[in-house]
Chains A and B, each alone.
Chain A
Amino acid sequence: MKQLTGLLFITLILFSACKFNAAETPKLPIYGNRDTVSKMVNGKMVVDSVYATIPDFKFVNQYGDSITSKSLNGYVYVADFFFTTCPSICPVMHRNMLKVYADYKNVSDFKIISHTIDPKHDSVPVLKKYADKMGISGQTWWLLQGKKEDTYQLGEKSYLVAVKEDSGTPGGYVHQGWFVLVDKQKRVRGYYDGTDEKQVDKLRADIKTLLAETNTTIAQ
């Protein structure tokens, strides 16, 4: 009986969620664990949710410039993990990422960051050469190099926590080829299989949605 009530409750929520979505403009989910904090506002206790965000990091881009998480303040961005000598899925991923780049390279509040997971080989000059060959210039797409532990930690603990929890797929993120969409508040808003053209098309559409959303939030 208890189970049935629970089921009913869930169904009700699902229905209301559908209605909610239909009425509003499309919204992207917010991934990651969330916490609530109670704080006093004007003498009243208010409960606020705190979302998981991408923590601070420090890397170097293909121009040799130091890039921290602050460098991404005010940007919607897509992150992925690759290495330049990768013979398997990386070429497919970056063939698809080039489409994203082509769409948004002139958008001032958008960036792509690709973390190399092989910093020993992928030095700054190697990354620059890769960028040149790919036809990437300017500051829209950064190829980031740093300590291997830092990169792995960031990938496992920050970007892909929700993926692992949601899909229940174990294994190295390295070979999964995810493109992670992050909003201006550094919250993860979408996961896309970078080797799947259809999912990348969805990403290209979602970036537009996200840019519009954050822009109106800021305007308010």
Chain B
Amino acid sequence: MKSRVIGLLTVLIAVIIASCQSEDELEFQRYYNGGKKLYEQKCQNCHSAKGDGLSNLIPPLTDAIYLKKNKALLACMVKYGIKETIITINGKSYEGAMPANDLAPVDIAKVLTYVTNSFGNKMGVIKSEVIDRYLAGCK
């Protein structure tokens, strides 16, 4: 009897854990897939389908260290654009402007989740609440 209860409990816990994981996984997929669509509409023309940019004109999105270090800045860049500044990506400097994309925080979260988990990047989900915090700190 006792062993049965324990067995049942273990199964129950296992199911809960499994469902939690798939919940996370589902959330990631939701962000990632939504982000892919937004990327194709808003970013792909310049940054290319492979995220490799265009020569020395448009920076690639493949610098994992830059992306990791500048998560908050990325959110600000997407929302407000960039005005004639020099940024260094993969050791190369890029100069120029990027247009602003006045997206909702949840959409910024989606597109950044896509970018930071594509083109060889693997940073996991960036949630909408986190983007809210990042945007509050934009200069």
Which A residues have a C-beta under 8 Å from some C-beta of B?
85, 87-89, 91-92, 94-95, 98, 130, 132-135
B137 part of interface (Cβ distance < 8 Å): no
Q: How far does the Cβ of B59 sit from chain A's closest Cβ, in whole Å?
A: 11
Using A91-B58, A94-B54, A133-B55 as known contacts, list a sample of 8 further A-B pairs with CB atoms less than 8 Å apart, ordered by residue number in A.
A85-B97, A87-B99, A91-B54, A98-B55, A130-B57, A132-B56, A133-B56, A134-B54
26 A-B pairs (CB sep. < 8 Å): A85-B97, A87-B45, A87-B46, A87-B99, A88-B45, A89-B45, A91-B45, A91-B46, A91-B48, A91-B54, A91-B57, A91-B58, A94-B54, A95-B48, A95-B54, A98-B55, A130-B57, A132-B56, A133-B55, A133-B56, A133-B57, A134-B54, A134-B55, A134-B56, A134-B57, A135-B56
Chain B's closest residue to A85 (CB) is B97
| Chain A residues near B48 (CB-CB < 8 A) | 91, 95
A133 to B58, CA, bound (A): 9
| Chain B residues near A132 (CB-CB < 8 A) | 56
Interface size on B, residues (CB 8 A): 10
Q: What sequence of 0s and 1s flags, for each residue 50-80 of chain B, a beta carbon within 8 Å of any chain A beta carbon? A: 0000111110000000000000000000000
Chain B's closest residue to A132 (CB) is B56
Q: How far does the Cβ of A36 sit from chain B's closest Cβ, in whole Å?
A: 44
| Chain B residues near A92 (CB-CB < 8 A) | 45
A133 to B45, CA, bound (A): 17
| Chain B residues near A95 (CB-CB < 8 A) | 48, 54
| Chain A residues near B46 (CB-CB < 8 A) | 87, 91
A95 to B97, CA, bound (A): 18
A95 to B57, CA, bound (A): 10
Max chain B C-beta neighbours (<10 A), residue from A91, A94, A130, A132? A91
A98 to B46, CA, bound (A): 14
| Chain B residues near A98 (CB-CB < 8 A) | 55
A85 to B45, CA, bound (A): 13
The A-contacting residues of B in range 85-139, CB under 8 angstroms, are 97, 99
